Structure 1
Amino acid sequence: MSSRSLQDELCVSSLSGGNMAYIDSLYEDFLADPLSVSADWQDFFKSLAPDNASDQTLSHRAIRAYLLSRPTTTAAQSSTPDNKQYQVANLINAYRALGHHAANLDPLDMAKRLAVPSLDLAYHKLSEADFKKLFYAGGYFSQTQMPLKDILQALKETYTGSIGIEYMHISNSDETNWLQERMETTRGQT
C-alpha cells in the first residue's frame, strides 16, 4: 500500500462505498466475536481502535435490539390550551382565506350559499363546548383575547356578511395586512 496513494488504494480496494453494507456486517460480526471473521479482517478491524482507549465500541445490532425491545408509545393528540389555540388560529385563517365563498351575496336569497367545510367548527376539532374559553384573536378584532363564540361571530360578520372579502391572494404582505386590519376592525362594514 505504501507504493500507491490512498486514493489509488481506495479505488481498487474492497473498502469502497459499494461494499459498505458487507463491511459493516463483518464489523458487527467482529464486535460480537472477533474469531468469526478471517484473520485479515481481524487485523484490519483491530487497526481501527478508537483514538481514546477508554471509548467502548458498541455494536449497531445491540443498539437496534435494545431500541426494538423498548415498549412503544404513541403520542396522543393533546387537548391542551395551546392545541386548541392552534385550532382556533386555523379557523381564523380559514375564514380569512375562504370566507368570501360563503358570503351572503344574494339579497333575495334565491341562490343557495356555498358550503365551505373548513369554516365549520368540527373541521377544526372545536365545538360549542369551547365557546366560553378565551383565545388569542389576533388583535384586529375588538380585543386581543376573546371567547370562541365572539371570535366566530366576528369572523362571520367580517367574512361571510353581505360583502365578500377576498385578499389572501395578494402577495404584498403590507397590502394584505392593511386590508385585513381595515376589514377586521370594522367587521367588514366599510
Structure 2
Amino acid sequence: MDKFSFLNAAHTAHFAQLYDEYLINPDQVEPSWRAFFQGFDFGMESAHEGDLVVEHAGAPVVVSENLQKEFQVVKLIDAYRSRGHLFTKTNPVRERRNYEPKLDLVNFGLSDSDLDTSFDSGGLISLGKTSLRKIVAHLNKVYCESIGVEYMYIRKPNEIKWIQNWLHT
C-alpha cells in the first residue's frame, strides 16, 4: 500500500476551506497547516508541467490529479472573490475595460473537459459537491453580473466569512 494513499481519500472540501482561510490570513491557520500550504504554494511554483510536488517529511510527494484539480478550483473561486467585480456588466453603453488576467479556466490549470467533473470545492460556495460547470455559473451569477462585490481587501476574516456566507446562500 502506498504510504501517501490517504491523500486520495481525504475530504478535499475541508482542505479547500483551510486553504481559503490561509489565503485570507495565514497567521490564523494552525502552524502545521500553514507550513503545508506554504509547501503547496512552493510546489505549485516549482513543479514540472502537469505535476504537483509537495514536500512531506523531507521527501517530495506527487499529489493526485484529483486533489490537484480541487486546489485549482479553490484558486478559481478565490479569483472570482478577488477580481470578479472587475468583470461585471455595469455599463450598458460601452464595453468594460479589458482586465487581465481573465477568469478563464485555462488560467487555473482547468479546461472545458473538467466542466462535467464534480468537485467538493463547491462546498465553499454553498453548492456542495457539484460539477465545475455549475460552480462557474454560480460564481458568474454572484460576482460578475450587474452588481459586483469587492470585499477581499477587508482585514477581518470574520467579516469576510460573513459576506461570503451571505453571498452564497
Normalising by the smaller structure, the TM-score range is: 0.5 to 0.7
1:89 corresponds, among 74, 87, 93, to 74
TM-superposed CA distance for 1:89, in Å, is: 0.6
Partner of 1:152: 136
Higher relative contact order (CA 8 A, sep 6+): 2
What is the distance in 1 between the residues matched to 2:137 and 2:124? 14
Partner of 1:188: none
Which amino acid in 2 is paired with 1:97? S
Partner of 1:117: 101
Write out aligned runs for 1:56-71 (5 A).
none
TM-score, normalised with respect to structure 1: 0.53
TM-superposed CA distance for 1:125, in Å, is: 1.4
1:99 aligns with 2:73: no
TM-superposition CA deviations, 1:111-144 (whole Å, max 9, x none): 3353342411010111110011011235354521
Query: 1:102–1:116: 8 Å Cα contact kept in structure 2?
Result: no
What is the distance in 1 between the residues matched to 2:167 and 2:132? 19
Instruction: Give the number of the structure whose alpha-carbon radius of gyration is greater.
Output: 1
Structure 2: which 5+ residue stretches go unaligned? 1-46, 53-63
Equivalent residue pairs, number: 111
2:51 corresponds, among 77, 101, 111, to 77
Query: 2:154–2:160: 8 Å Cα contact kept in structure 1?
Result: yes
3-state SS of paired residue (2:168): helix
What is the distance in 2 between the residues matched to 1:112 and 1:81? 35
TM-score, normalised with respect to structure 2: 0.59
Q: Among the aligned pairs, what percent are the same residue?
A: 34
Partner of 1:60: none
RMSD (CA atoms): 2.1
